[in-house]
Structure 1
Amino acid sequence: MEINSIRRQKRRTDRLNLYVDGEFRLTIAAEVAVRRGLRPGHALDEAELTALAEEDARWRARESALRLLSYRQRSENEIRRRLASRHFDPATVETCIDHLKAASLLDDEAFAIAFCRDRLRSRPSGRARLAVELRAKGVRDDVAREALDQIFSSEGQDELELARQAAHKFTRPRNIDALRLRRRLYGFLSRRGFSADTIAAVMEESAPAS
């Protein structure tokens, strides 16, 4: 078998249609074609066509992942789930993940630290809540612990001060007695992941003087 024609797509100029023995057989990235040295008259067999399709799948997976990462940092598991949802096979997904990690473009610890910093700026929360959110992002517990240690120890984030900030943002309903208000504030801070001791300290500070 040999390639008779290589035609660039009109809408996707980075994609090429390959015609083999007079029939359309495959669409691949122009980058893959250049890397493989493909040209009209190039002889190939079914095994090489299969290899081209697999290489193109790896290229498409990488491009999809890079587009996702161009918007914001993401966890390894987020990228894995998104690529799987786009019907890339597991081997292609793992190859892509390995490539991104080797290029330092995917780093769960760096992601976790950045995620926590951003969350604390926009939505003051306790360590427990941040741990739950990182787990939901697919970050391993040991990696999450290291990131939280970095945030709360090395960078000096104070959970009591964060709880004060959260309490300040709490919307206090009108026409509600003091006891019910305290219960609602307690529930609000608890859902934000603050410890019972931290919540008690904040509520003591906010209690009206007798």
Structure 2
Amino acid sequence: MSTITAIRQQVRHKDRYSLYVDGEYAFSLSESALLESQVASGQQLSDTELTALKQLALQDKQYNLVLRYAALRPRSEWEMLTYMHRKDIPEPVAKKYTDKLKRIGLLDDQDFAERWVANRRLLKHTSQARLRQELRQKHIDSSIIDTVLAEDQESTDEIDVIAAIIHKKRARYSDPQKLIAYLARQGFRYDAIKTALDRADDANP
């Protein structure tokens, strides 16, 4: 049998507690994990109970690492799973962590896709084709992509987006064909490019 000889709040991390077993530091737990474990100073543990407590401490540390990563910025579920794979977190455990993140609102592919599109609209003139490609690279479900881009299409005039790029890039691409090729590489449709160019020419005869 082993004995929990002390439980001490950490100085630098007030939400974590150091547990001492038989007079020596053994591991730490977050406040929530400590409450979940229901251990107390002076409590005796069998080898099986101590092993289970160490496993709880490991998963508690892993989850707090995952929680901090998720809180830095919005992430797709695929990004979170990829991160946990890099951290050698077993797939069943990673699935449990993603479920917990979803329950507390830190993981939602629909919300991620909406934020991604809104952010790209604020920072850069981007085609819907490029946005679709970027969301696919984040492994967002196609039904979510379709929904989010349909909403974006209702609020964004692609011709205006192209016109803004033409205004910015025309001095660099004096040859109209090179400008068209550039816009096509950005994922814009030829008919939309042609309409935007015609409008630009009409505005600047």
TM-score band, normalised by the shorter chain? 0.7 to 0.9
Task: Report the Cα offset of residue 160 of structure 1.
Answer: 1.6
Tell me the alpha carbon deviations over residues 68-107 of structure 1, each in whole angstroms, 9 at most, x when there is no partner: 3444322112222233333433222211111121233321
Partner of 2:79: 78
CA contact (8 A) 1:61 1:92 kept: no
Q: How does 1:10-159 map to 2 (within 5 A)?
A: 10-153=11-154, 156-159=155-158
Unaligned runs of 5+ in 2: none
Distance 1:192 1:48, change over 3 A: farther
Distance 2:42 2:142 in 1: 55
Distance 1:103 1:12, change over 3 A: closer
Partner of 1:166: 165
CA contact (8 A) 2:7 2:41 kept: yes
Distance 2:107 2:178 in 1: 40
Distance 1:46 1:189, change over 3 A: farther
Which 10-residue stretch deviates more, 122-131 or 144-153?
144-153
- What's the C-alpha RMSD, in Å, of the aligned pairs? 2.6
Q: Describe the SS at the equivalent of 1:17.
A: strand
Distance 2:192 2:91 in 1: 44
Distance 1:30 1:105, change over 3 A: closer
Tell me the alpha carbon deviations over residues 118-147 of structure 1, each in whole angstroms, 9 at most, x when there is no partner: 111211111110011111222122221121
Task: Report the Cα offset of residue 171 of structure 1.
Answer: 5.8
Distance 1:185 1:53, change over 3 A: farther
Distance 2:11 2:152 in 1: 50
Unaligned runs of 5+ in 1: none
Which 10-residue stretch deviates more, 44-53 or 72-81?
44-53
Identity %: 28
Distance 1:42 1:164, change over 3 A: same
CA contact (8 A) 2:76 2:140 kept: yes
Distance 1:147 1:43, change over 3 A: same
Distance 1:164 1:57, change over 3 A: farther
Distance 1:47 1:189, change over 3 A: farther
> Which consecutive aligned stretches of 4+ in structure 1 deviate over 4 angstroms post-superposition?
207-210
Task: Report the Cα offset of residue 12 of structure 1.
Answer: 3.4
Distance 1:40 1:136, change over 3 A: same
CA contact (8 A) 1:58 1:96 kept: no
Distance 1:53 1:77, change over 3 A: farther
Distance 1:56 1:143, change over 3 A: farther
Distance 1:162 1:42, change over 3 A: same
Q: Describe the SS at the equivalent of 2:44.
A: coil
Tell me the alpha carbon deviations over residues 44-71 of structure 1, each in whole angstroms, 9 at most, x when there is no partner: 2333333333333443344334433444
Distance 1:64 1:23 in 2: 25
Distance 2:85 2:163 in 1: 41
Partner of 1:189: 183
Matched letter for residue 191 of structure 1: R
Residue-pair matches, total? 203
Distance 2:58 2:116 in 1: 30
